[in-house]
Structures are given as structure tokens and as C-alpha cells.
Structure 1
Amino acid sequence: MADTVRLTSLYWPPYTGENLAEQGASVAVARAAFAAMGHQLEVEFYPWNRAVSLAKNNERYAGYFPAYYFRTNKLLFSDTMGSGMLGFVEQKDDPIKWRALTDLVPYKIGVVNGYRNTIEFDDMIQSGQLSAVSVLTDKQNVLKVADDRLDVAVIDENVLKFLKLHDENVSKVKDKVQMNKKPLVNKHLYIAFNRGEQGEKWLDIFNQGLTKIDVDKIMATYMSLHFETD
């Protein structure tokens, strides 16, 4: 019997977004995996911190996505449902060179409130070793870098590409910013299910569904079909 699973998400194009084609590449993957097991997916979109909070505290939802993995005893992470290259957006006229994270000490770095990056990077921000400014969206960070209010900002490479192509404000400054040549890390994406009977049920269903689909093909097809046309 077909059931409906409800998850929360955020506007994080091209991966997720209520008004994106198929609601985004990651939603397309998740929907295909659940459909392969005979179930339907409903996604509700909120600002990131609210999406996480609602998913954890409201029994209506089985979890949230797309999430980066982190150690916790409160959530169950699915098998990987794709990945994205995480790095830094910088000014084209003033690129930075770095090898180790300690090389970033002189710079003012933009981060998004609630986003997890890498353990070492986040720990260095938490301890005050790195100077970070927190905002609510990737878009705000890109505009701040373009306006020379930040030296660099953490961002997924595909998110920056999307914003430069499709966001009215970012497209105006697209020639001022670029991805730094050195990636921070290739981050895998997951669904974070709530720990408990329902979460375990949907985790098992989703992971089985992933084995029945070609995640990389769905992601690649989505990007080629929709990346420059929506």
C-alpha cells in the first residue's frame, strides 16, 4: 500500500526549492527513490533553521534534507543521495591563495547561519581562530563579497552557478565574483530522518529505493535540462 512521507527542506537552488523545476535536483532524486518503492513524497519548504526544527519536533515530518552528515544520536542519516563541491566565492579582482585553513586567518569569511561545513573549519570559527560573519542565505554572502564587505564566503559551487544565472541581484554582479580554485571539500548529501519507529521505517525504504535508481544520472540530467532554462 502506497504511503506518503513528508520531509522539510529549504530554498537551496539548484538542489531544492519550492518553485524550481521538480522542486530541485535533490527532490527529484528523493522522489524517484521513494517512487521506486511505491511511495509518494511531499516536501514543505522553510528557512533552514526552521526546516530543521520543524522536522525534529513535529511528528508530521519524517526528517529534513538535503543535509550534510554529522555525528549525532538524534538523527538517522540515509545513504548518500548526491554530492556538491563546497568552496569559497571570492572577488575576481582579488583572489586568495590558501593551502591549509590557517592560511584563511587574515580574511573575513561569510557563512550561512545553521549550515555545517567541515568539522575543522567550523571548530576554528567556534574557537575564534577564523573571523566569520553569519548571514541567512548564500545570496547575501555572494552580494557581500561582490561589494567588498567580505573577503570570501563558503558556498556550494552549483549554488553559486545557479545564483549567477537566475538571481536578479547576483546576476548583476556575476562578473565580480568567482569560485576560489581550491575546493574546501566534496560534500555528500543525505536525508536526516528522525530517530524512532517512523524514521527507521522511512530510512529503510529510502535506502532500498536508492539502490533501484541511478542517482548520478538523475542529478546530471536535471542539471543539463533545467540549470540554464528555469
Structure 2
Amino acid sequence: MFVSRIQITAAVLAVLPSVAPAEEAPVDLVVSTLEWPPYTGSHLPGEGAASEVLRAAIAAETPEAEVEIRFLPWNRAVALARDSEAVHAYFPGYDCTHEEGFVSSAPFGASVLGFAEPRPHPLNWRVLEDLSGLPLKFGTVLGYRNTKAFDDMVAQGALQVLSAKDDVTNLRRLLAGRVDAVVIDQRVMRYLVRTEPSLWAQKIRIGFNAKPLAEQPLHVCFKDDAKGRELRDRFDRGLASLDQKGAMIDAYIQREFQ
């Protein structure tokens, strides 16, 4: 009897175990963020100090968990977390009220926010109202929240600002005399004047005002749904179990950049 090759092949395949295509393991936590060194950065060791704390907290609670961090400009990072079902959170946030529908983690660190200023011409002020009405222009970053008091005075026209796309641009403007001071995190300023080629040669000309605007807590902002709250609780439990969690950001900076 003649048996075709097609029939033989079909018979062989029928007795072989079926093998389904391998599926990629799902990512347990997807977070969006911005380039904000030394806290976050796609080019930094461990993707930044805050990213290392995030992964350590999740790993402490779920060692096998995988964390993916996506880097975008800040407004787009927040929008991605809001609009994409695949993204569970954004970070770091001061209060997680940039958009409705998010819940705040426990704070994993703090940001000292203040004024970068030209040396040797410091701002002399006790309360923000001391700066109101003066011929001063402050550099800010588009989409960033500063302090409520500062932002309220800007909205009222009591303080004048010139917004830029990032902190580096603001510091360049400070050196060029286009702004009188820059609202910036102290660690970010110190990192940038040491590592950014357009700044480090003139770093002696940039100081940080002795009076900070505020010390702002840093949070991971999770979606306010069942999955987001479960991930928030897992992060918070892991964070609470870490030794020296409050010093992890400074320890990272000292290890990587000192």
C-alpha cells in the first residue's frame, strides 16, 4: 500500500507531545518615572538610588518578583501610569496628587528642596513673602510641583518664574544670568554640578541657599485599584523590613559618586 509522506508526518506528529510556545514570565510591577539623577536614571547604576530602594523593598517581600522601570519626561510618565493598564505606578512623587486615582506608598526617602543661587550673591529671606514683588526670576521645571506656598504665589503673580524642560537647562540659565535662582532638589544639584560637562567647570559659581524651601517626602504612587493597593501594601511591608532604609539613598550616592 502506498503511504504518502504527508500521512507519515501526520502520524508522527500525532504521537509527539504537544509543546506550547514558551511564554514570557509576567512582570510583577511596572513603574514609570523620569530622568532625575541621582534618584532615577536609565544610565545610572541600578537605574538610580530611588530605583534601588524600590527594587529592594519589593524583593524583601517577594524575592522572585520582577520590576520594570520605564523612563519618560515627567508629564508623560504620570500620564502613562494613569492611562496604561500595563503600568501600575509612577515615582517619585511628593504627595501622589498629580493625578486623581492614585494612592501613596509609605515614604522611602526625602527631598530637600531649595534654591540654587549664584555665588557670592545669596538670597536673603525668612519667609517667601520676603521675595514677593522683588525683581527676581526663578527657574522651575515644566510639570514639577514645588511647594504649595511657592506654587500658590506663582499663580497669584507674586513670584515670577521661567520654566525649562529640565534642571540642567535651569542651572545653565542661572550661570548665564537669565534667572536669579533655581528651584531644585539639593542632591540633584550636587550631582549635576559634578557630572554635567556644561556645569562642572563652573560649579564654584553655583551654591545652594542656606534656607531650604521644604523637606519633601518621596513616595511611589500606585493606582487606586485592587492591584495597585495590593502592590502598595507589598511595597510598604518590604520597605518596613529594610535595615537603614532612610539612609539608602545617601549610601547609594556615596558608593557610586563620591
TM-score normalised by structure 1 residue count: 0.95
Deviates more, 1:35-44 or 1:155-164: 35-44
Alignment gaps of 5+ in structure 2: 1-24
Say if 1:143 and 1:173, in contact at 8 Å, map to a contact too.
no
Work out the CA distance in 1 between the residues paired with 2:72 and 2:81.
11
Say if 2:96 and 2:103, in contact at 8 Å, map to a contact too.
no
Work out the CA distance in 2 between the residues paired with 1:217 and 1:162.
17
| Residue in structure 2 matched with residue 78 of structure 1 by the alignment | 105
- 1:36-82 deviations in Å (ceiling 9; x for gaps): 11122110101111111111111110010011115564210100010
Alignment gaps of 5+ in structure 1: none
Indicate which of 27, 46, 61 corresponds to 2:87: 61
Deviates more, 1:100-109 or 1:19-28: 100-109
| Residue in structure 2 matched with residue 15 of structure 1 by the alignment | 39
Work out the CA distance in 1 between the residues paired with 2:115 and 2:252.
24
Work out the CA distance in 2 between the residues paired with 1:89 and 1:28.
27
Indicate which of 116, 137, 149 corresponds to 2:166: 137
- 1:76-129 deviations in Å (ceiling 9; x for gaps): 010001012110000003221011111222110111111111111111111211
Which has the higher Rg, Structure 1 or Structure 2? 2
State the AA in 1 paired with 2:70: E
Q: Are residues 1:217 and 2:250 paired?
A: no
Aligned residue for 1:52, secondary structure, equals helix
TM-score normalised by structure 2 residue count: 0.85
| Residue in structure 2 matched with residue 201 of structure 1 by the alignment | 230
Indicate which of 188, 191, 199 corresponds to 1:170: 199
- The offset of 1:2, in angstroms, is 8.9
Indicate which of 24, 34, 37 corresponds to 2:61: 37
Residues matched between the structures, number = 228
- The offset of 1:3, in angstroms, is 5.5
| Residue in structure 1 matched with residue 190 of structure 2 by the alignment | 161
| Residue in structure 1 matched with residue 78 of structure 2 by the alignment | 52
Work out the CA distance in 2 between the residues paired with 1:63 and 1:126.
28
| Residue in structure 1 matched with residue 213 of structure 2 by the alignment | 184
RMSD: 1.6
- 1:122-178 deviations in Å (ceiling 9; x for gaps): 111112111011111011111111111000010000000000111111113212111
State the AA in 1 paired with 2:247: K
The list of structure 1 runs, each at least 4 consecutive aligned residues, that deviate by more than 6 angstroms after superposition, is none
Aligned residue for 2:130, secondary structure, equals helix
Work out the CA distance in 2 between the residues paired with 1:139 and 1:100.
27
Q: Are residues 1:99 and 2:123 paired?
A: no
Deviates more, 1:67-76 or 1:130-139: 67-76
Q: Are residues 1:4 and 2:4 paired?
A: no
Instruction: Give identity over the alignment, percent.
Output: 36
Deviates more, 1:206-215 or 1:15-24: 206-215
- The offset of 1:198, in angstroms, is 1.6
Alpha-carbon spacing, 1:76–1:224, altered in 2? closer, same or farther (3 Å): same
Indicate which of 156, 161, 177 corresponds to 1:127: 156
Work out the CA distance in 2 between the residues paired with 1:161 and 1:172.
13
